[in-house]
Amino acid sequence: MPSVHAVTYSLLRRQGITTVFGNPGSNELPFLKGFPEDFRYVLGLHEGVVAGMADGYALASGRPAFVNLHAAAGTGNAMGALTNAWYAHSPLVITAGQQARSMIGVESMLANVEAPQLPKPLVKWSYEPACPEDVPRALSQAIHSASLPPRGPVYVSIPHDDWDRDAGEDAELVVAREIDHAGVPSSVQIERLAERLDAADNPVLVLGPEVDARQANGLAVALAERLRLPVWVAPSASRCPFPNRHPCFRGVLPAAIAGITAHLEGHDLIVVVGAPVFRYHQYAPGRYLPEGARLVHVTGDAVEAARAPMGDALVGDVHATLEALLPHIAPSERAMPEPLLKPAAVEDGEGRLAPANVFDTLDALAPEDAIYVKESTSTVELFWERVAMREPGSYFFPAAGGLGFGLPAALGVQLAQPQRQVIGVIGDGSASYAITALWSAARYRIPAVLIILRNDTYGALRGFARHMQVDDAPGLDVPDIDFCALARGYGVEARLADSRDALAAALQEGFAMDRPLLIEVPTLPS
């Protein structure tokens, strides 16, 4: 009879999962023994990097990503990254090696005590099989749970003495399973939504990351054009659901109750598709909706629908819903929204670039279908204003704001999308949370261009400090970090770009390279 080990690898292969992101310890060695040749192991030197790479890979491929961590310590190191994976609906299948079964009770070294509790509440499902024969079934459940909507990370703890045990006669049945999902609203529900849109005098569309995740961007464009709707991106945007140079595009809504209401003033119907209502951040209380406005929320996540404090909701697949809705929408007579004005030119400093000019240079030189992994917190608005994003899957930002996502996720995205150029735009603060990702970039020759915006500070916190009237907080600056030296130390080539010309030259070089390039850009605070 086949071993748990053999059946597990058949299951993974059958599910199209042949990349393992991991950082091993003794508990994981029996799983890695005889690692099949058609599989690829991507080593991260810290579990935050491992989970971040897998998160980027899952988000950009739309497929579950397999993670193998070391017991409790490895899981703990990955928890910060899990906050992002959870809010990004990222289908991570996280496994952790457990002590041998008979050694868990005595709490030997590396026993992961109450293992399924550890990653909660940042996983959809968490489990430790009760016996070795249940391991393949549990992993199958994990893969399907992660992939079925609403998607999200799952966790399985596996005792290391399970791998060479018999999997049982029927183990292959679990390998052969396929699960389909359909979530199309009924025609009555679709007609009702179409009627509400038709009856509104001044409707507005607010789009979220699920539109991009479900590749419904084109459908959103068709809806906006047919109804001539202004389109906002939902606050705290982790993806780009709508081309940001389209005339209907208005920008990203601010992440504050009062700010959203002010921006949507005058609209009588707010249709939110594929975003929570809403992902607030700054505390600026106020009315949830403008006077006289109604809200309809279309989402694939029933929990998201249930927790909103206002509006009606339709729970269903956002791609299927938009697709079904479009034939019911008659073209509007309204005037097409005016395209946004081109932002004004700004001055650079002495040996320091204005972030706006970094972005203009990038926009001029990057391939049209470049993918941006963005993690510089003080320049989010500037980036959306200045850098064109046209294709689905062009932008990834940490979905829970947990820093340490950018560098590893850029690598994971590049592994998932080898035909598109990935560009990491990372703050100097953010880069340090996951700096060892540079080693993986070099080791696997992942040809991402990694731009570090070195403003020597936690820039966004300076903005928050002003907003929260805290003028004396310590620990907000991060000067004197030599990112070029760090990159070279990990085996990544690096350039210092202290002028627009130097940046342009470095970018061109990076886009032509078959391995990673780090570009350190001294920048002015924004």
Q: Active site includes 291?
A: no
- Asked whether position 401 contacts ligand TPP by CB under 6 A, the answer is yes
Residue 460, contacted partner among ligand TPP, Mg ion, none, CB below 5-8 A by kind: ligand TPP
- What's the closest the beta carbon of residue 424 comes to ligand TPP, in angstroms? 12
The DSSP H or E segment spanning 321 is helix 318-325
Task: Give the residue among 51, 58, 43, 92 at the shortest CA–CA distance from 75.
Answer: 51
The DSSP H or E segment spanning 257 is helix 257-263
- Asked whether position 424 contacts ligand TPP by CB under 6 A, the answer is no
In the bound state with Mg ion, the residue whose beta carbon lies nearer, of 22 and 401, is 401
CA angle 357, 390, 434 (to 5 degrees): 60
Bond preceding residue 129 cis, omega within 30 of 0: no
- Asked whether position 522 contacts ligand TPP by CB under 6 A, the answer is no
The DSSP H or E segment spanning 396 is strand 395-396
Task: Give the residue among 76, 49, 80 at the shortest CA–CA distance from 399.
Answer: 80
Point out which residues bind Mg ion (CB under 5 A). 427-429, 455, 459
- Asked whether position 430 contacts ligand TPP by CB under 6 A, the answer is yes
The catalytic residue among 76, 172, 218, 281 is 281
- What's the closest the beta carbon of residue 430 comes to Mg ion, in angstroms? 7
SS3 percent helix, strand, coil of the chain, rounded to 5, is 40, 15, 45
Q: Active site includes 56?
A: no
Calpha distance 235→407 (Å, rounded): 23
Q: Active site includes 191?
A: no
The CA distances from residue 477 to 16, 403, 433, in Å, are 44, 16, 15
- Asked whether position 518 contacts ligand TPP by CB under 6 A, the answer is no
* Selected binder of ligand TPP within 232, 458, 483, 490 (CB under 6 A): 458
- What's the closest the beta carbon of residue 32 comes to ligand TPP, in angstroms? 29
In the bound state with ligand TPP, the residue whose beta carbon lies nearer, of 75 and 98, is 75
- What's the closest the beta carbon of residue 285 comes to ligand TPP, in angstroms? 21
Residue 217, contacted partner among Mg ion, ligand TPP, none, CB below 5-8 A by kind: none
- Asked whether position 455 contacts ligand TPP by CB under 6 A, the answer is yes
CA angle 414, 156, 238 (to 5 degrees): 35
In the bound state with ligand TPP, the residue whose beta carbon lies nearer, of 392 and 402, is 402
Calpha distance 263→265 (Å, rounded): 6
Q: Which amino acid is located at 172 in the chain?
A: E
**DSSP assignment letter at 319:** H
Residue 403, contacted partner among Mg ion, ligand TPP, none, CB below 5-8 A by kind: ligand TPP
Residue 134, contacted partner among Mg ion, ligand TPP, none, CB below 5-8 A by kind: none
The catalytic residue among 25, 62, 218, 491 is 25
Cβ pair 329, 227 in contact under 8 A: yes
Residues assigned a catalytic role: 25-26, 28, 47, 70, 281, 401
